[in-house]
């Protein structure tokens, strides 16, 4: 299969940077997800890798070969579009063998590959049909078959599940993951859905404002966001972020009695990082809070949402700061109930308010 390497790759539309110069190495067989809000440059990056968009600068290497200025058809990559792009005037069968016809494969090879791929995706029964008549899930299966049948060096997928109904989306997510495990094909997958990214990626590239904000495994970007953007963007809702003032092992948070005793292993780093006025941003995920009667932090219930397995509590700690906490679904919290809670020490993070970067929890950094 293939490695993909982007070196200082950028895209400008006029004066506007759609993608600022970025470096990224995608390992052989990796499933990498480009994640970010719409307009962050993730699709442009994907299209530059495919050759559908010319770069404004930088180099793209595919398996060590410089493909920066190669025609899309000469790059040996397959592209799966959000809206499937199945050729409506061709049958499912003709759609799938279309790339093989371009390579002028002999008929017996075409037949064999077709058979393999339809068996793999279990779409034998669709072969004679017209793509317009299929359900969206089946259309995307056919589009995947068309990509797989060529055995390309890499797969590029642009929000392939974005156009599917919720019911198909869950199934297809598992199917694509299974396919990847099966085929070990290098895959670059673009999505704006962070749940999809966490569920599918070996690594996630979080992008925003035309640049990479963080690259890491799903656990890394979820547990240790590198900056406030990633902290807010990953998770639903995102990380709770409260501005506070640090001094001598205690963070003073908004609200009358909210003082957070910083765990001892954080102190050295916070002492170093918070010189000056001592302002820091405290971050924790909803599940890091444990509701208890003698908790050191407290607030009032502002709203509650039922999420099925748990209840999400929106807690007002003063007029401006609302925190999201995970509560048990067995307890009913009327609006206005005072709730106090503790934070699990290992799940607390700190950020600089000025440069919005995370303060490292490792010693000596």
**Residue 292: strand pairing partners:** none
- Tell me if 284 sits within 8 A of 349, measured CB to CB: yes
- Minimum CB separation of residue 191 from other proteins in Å reads 17
The residue written with tokens 């050191």 in the block is 296
Tell me how many degrees the CA angle 22-229-81 measures, rounded to the nearest 5: 55
- Minimum CB separation of residue 3 from other proteins in Å reads 19
- Minimum CB separation of residue 143 from other proteins in Å reads 8
- Minimum CB separation of residue 62 from other proteins in Å reads 13
Query: If binding is defined by CB under 8 A, does position 214 make contact with other proteins?
Result: no
- Tell me if 11 sits within 8 A of 50, measured CB to CB: no
Which of 127, 199 has the CB closer to other proteins?
127
Query: If binding is defined by CB under 8 A, does position 160 make contact with other proteins?
Result: no
Query: If binding is defined by CB under 8 A, does position 185 make contact with other proteins?
Result: no
Tell me how many degrees the CA angle 324-325-329 measures, rounded to the nearest 5: 125
Task: Please identify which residue in 70, 163, 291, 347 interacts with other proteins, judged by CB under 8 A.
Answer: 163
- Minimum CB separation of residue 168 from other proteins in Å reads 12
Query: If binding is defined by CB under 8 A, does position 11 make contact with other proteins?
Result: no
Q: Which residues of 311-336 are buried (b: 16+ CB within 10 A; e: fewer)?
A: bbbbbbbeeebbbbbbbeeeeebeee
- Minimum CB separation of residue 245 from other proteins in Å reads 52
Query: If binding is defined by CB under 8 A, does position 99 make contact with other proteins?
Result: yes
Sign for the CA dihedral angle at 359, 362, 363, 365 comes to negative
The whole-angstrom separation of Cα 259 and Cα 245 is 10
Instruction: Give the per-residue contact string, 28-57, with other proteins (x = CB under 8 A; - = no).
Output: ----------------------xxx-----
Query: If binding is defined by CB under 8 A, does position 146 make contact with other proteins?
Result: yes
Query: If binding is defined by CB under 8 A, does position 310 make contact with other proteins?
Result: no
Q: Which residues of 79-96 are buried (b: 16+ CB within 10 A; e: fewer)?
A: bbbbebebeeeebbbebb
Which of 24, 78 has the CB closer to other proteins?
78
The whole-angstrom separation of Cα 22 and Cα 7 is 7
Which of 103, 119 has the CB closer to other proteins?
103
The footprint of other proteins on this chain (CB under 8 A) covers a number of residues equal to 30
Residue 265: Cβ within 10 Å count: 12
The strand ranges marked E within 161-288 are 186-191, 203-208, 211-216, 240-247, 250-252, 259-261, 279-284
Which of 150, 213 has the CB closer to other proteins?
150
Instruction: Give the per-residue contact string, 237-266, with other proteins (x = CB under 8 A; - = no).
Output: ------------------------------
- Minimum CB separation of residue 36 from other proteins in Å reads 21
Query: Which residues 69-98 are close enough to bind other proteins by CB under 8 A?
Result: 71-73, 75, 77-79, 81, 83-89, 98
Query: If binding is defined by CB under 8 A, does position 148 make contact with other proteins?
Result: no
- What the block records as the tokens of 130 is 């017209």
Residue 69: Cβ within 10 Å count: 10
Integer angstrom CA distances of residue 232 from 8, 162, 204, 253, 316: 27, 22, 15, 19, 18
Binding span for other proteins by CB under 8 A among 2-10, 131-139, 219-227, 243-251 = 131-139
- Tell me if 301 sits within 8 A of 324, measured CB to CB: no
Task: Please identify which residue in 43, 45, 139, 186 interacts with other proteins, judged by CB under 8 A.
Answer: 139
Query: If binding is defined by CB under 8 A, does position 192 make contact with other proteins?
Result: no
Which of 84, 341 has the CB closer to other proteins?
84
Q: What number of residues does the chain have?
A: 365
Q: Which residues form the interface with other proteins (CB under 8 A)?
A: 50-52, 71-73, 75, 77-79, 81, 83-89, 98-99, 102-103, 131-132, 134, 136, 139, 146, 150, 163
């Amino acid at each position: 299969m293939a490695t993909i390497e982007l070196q200082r790759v950028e895209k400008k539309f006029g004066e506007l940077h759609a993608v600022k110069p970025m470096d990224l190495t995608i390992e052989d067989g990796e499933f990498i997800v480009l994640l970010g809000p719409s307009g962050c440059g993730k699709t442009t990056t994907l299209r530059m890798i495919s050759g559908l968009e010319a770069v404004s600068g930088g180099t793209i290497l595919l398996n060590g070969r410089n493909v920066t200025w190669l025609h899309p058809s000469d790059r040996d990559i397959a592209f799966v579009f959000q809206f499937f792009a199945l050729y409506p005037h061709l049958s499912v069968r003709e759609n799938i063998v279309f790339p093989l016809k371009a390579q002028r494969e002999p008929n017996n090879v075409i037949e064999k590959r077709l058979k393999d791929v339809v068996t793999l995706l279990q779409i034998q029964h669709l072969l004679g049909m017209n793509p317009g008549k299929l359900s969206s899930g089946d259309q995307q299966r056919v589009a995947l078959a068309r990509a797989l049948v060529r055995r390309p060096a890499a797969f590029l997928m642009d929000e392939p599940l974005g156009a599917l109904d919720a019911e198909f989306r869950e199934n297809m997510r598992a199917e694509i993951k299974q396919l990847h495990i099966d085929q070990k094909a290098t895959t670059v997958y673009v999505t704006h859905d962070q749940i999809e990214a966490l569920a599918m990626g070996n690594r996630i590239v979080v992008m925003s404002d035309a640049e990479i904000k963080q690259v890491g495994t799903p656990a890394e970007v979820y547990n240790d966001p590198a900056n406030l953007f990633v902290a807010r963007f990953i998770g639903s809702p995102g990380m709770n972020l409260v501005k506070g003032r640090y001094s001598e092992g205690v963070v003073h948070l908004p609200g009358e009695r909210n003082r957070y005793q910083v765990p001892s292993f954080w102190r050295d780093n916070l002492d170093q990082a918070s010189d000056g006025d001592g302002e820091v941003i405290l971050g924790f995920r909803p599940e890091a809070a444990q509701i208890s009667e003698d908790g050191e932090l407290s607030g009032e219930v502002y709203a509650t949402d039922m999420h099925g397995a748990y209840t999400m509590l929106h807690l007002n700690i003063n007029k401006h700061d609302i925190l999201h906490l995970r509560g048990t679904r067995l307890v009913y919290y009327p609006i206005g109930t005072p709730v106090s809670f503790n934070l699990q020490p290992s799940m607390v993070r700190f950020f600089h308010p000025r440069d919005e970067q995370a303060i490292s929890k490792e010693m000596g950094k």
